[in-house]
Amino acid sequence: MMSCPTSNSGHYYEGDVNDLEYQLGCTTVPTRSSTARRAPGEARRLLLDAARELFARQDYRRTTTREIAEAAGVTEYLLFRHFGSKAGLFREALVLPFTTFVAGFGETWQSVVPEDTDEEDLARQFVGPLYDVLVENRGLLLTLAASDALTDDELEDTGISEIRRAFAVLGGISAEGMQLRGLRSSQPDLPAHSTVAMIVGMVALRSTFFGAEPPAREAIVDELVQATLHGFLHRP
């Protein structure tokens, strides 16, 4: 065992010796008595929080593992130890919350009994949690907007390809919903995608619309629900 110094601090964190530590410039070996121990899981949490904050300010390509580690107050070695790569960290910090939400709503949809379901309540179960996920993980929006510049390997490694598959799931739900209502469209997945785009736009432009004092979360969600129900799903 050896210990690696955290960036810009006098604290140390224990880790297993391997070549990666030396590649990252981790060569200081303090005594065990000088090592400041972190609570189990704390370094992982710090890295996830730092990644979400930095990815919200700059996209995936421009954010470095060194910046994330320094913001978290840990070594790059710990980043690689916990997540394997920048892509692995991005996937867990930003992609997983979105795909988990979609999977959960998919289960909710499968349990729906149309004649016993309140349409507005179902819309709230979709709009509210999705709005929250996007607000908490705004860095995902920046990378999605720039995803055309990513290579196929980067799309797969970061999980962006999983986001696209999740959109396909939502499109399928939209098509089923239109069929249940007896509605026809040459693009039955478009209502779901339009709804997501509306919510994404509200999150991305919230500060532009409202400055430092946006409306309460409940007011925004209610407006988005009404727009979803009466702007996209109810057709002549």
**For residue 18, what pLDDT is reported?**
38
**For residue 188, what pLDDT is reported?**
86
The answer on pLDDT for 236 being more than 70 is no
**For residue 159, what pLDDT is reported?**
94
Give the up-direction half-sphere exposure of residue 117: CA atoms within 13 A in the CB hemisphere.
Answer: 16
What is the mean predicted confidence (pLDDT) over 2-15? 39
Q: What are phi and psi of 41, to 5 degrees?
A: 85, -5
DSSP state of 5: E
- Cβ distance 25 to 66 under 8 Å? no
Shared-domain flag, residues 194 and 148: yes
The answer on pLDDT for 35 being more than 50 is no
CA–CA distance, 157 with 19 (Å, rounded to integer): 23
Higher pLDDT, 2 or 71: 71
**For residue 37, what pLDDT is reported?**
67
Q: What domain count does the chain have?
A: 2
Residue type, 114: P
pTM, full prediction: 0.78
What is the mean predicted confidence (pLDDT) over 4-14? 39
- Cβ distance 72 to 50 under 8 Å? yes
Could you tell me the CATH number of the domain that includes residue 49? 1.10.10.60
**For residue 76, what pLDDT is reported?**
96
Could you tell me the CATH number of the domain that includes residue 160? 1.10.357.10
Shared-domain flag, residues 70 and 145: no
Contacts of 168 (CB under 8 A, 6+ apart): 189
Higher pLDDT, 20 or 110: 110
pLDDT digits (tens, 9 = 90+) for 123-136: 999 999 999 999 99
Contacts of 167 (CB under 8 A, 6+ apart): 192, 193, 196
Shared-domain flag, residues 45 and 96: no
Shared-domain flag, residues 173 and 212: yes
End-of-domain residue from the set 25, 48, 83 = 83
pLDDT digits (tens, 9 = 90+) for 172-198: 999 998 888 788 888 888 888 999 999
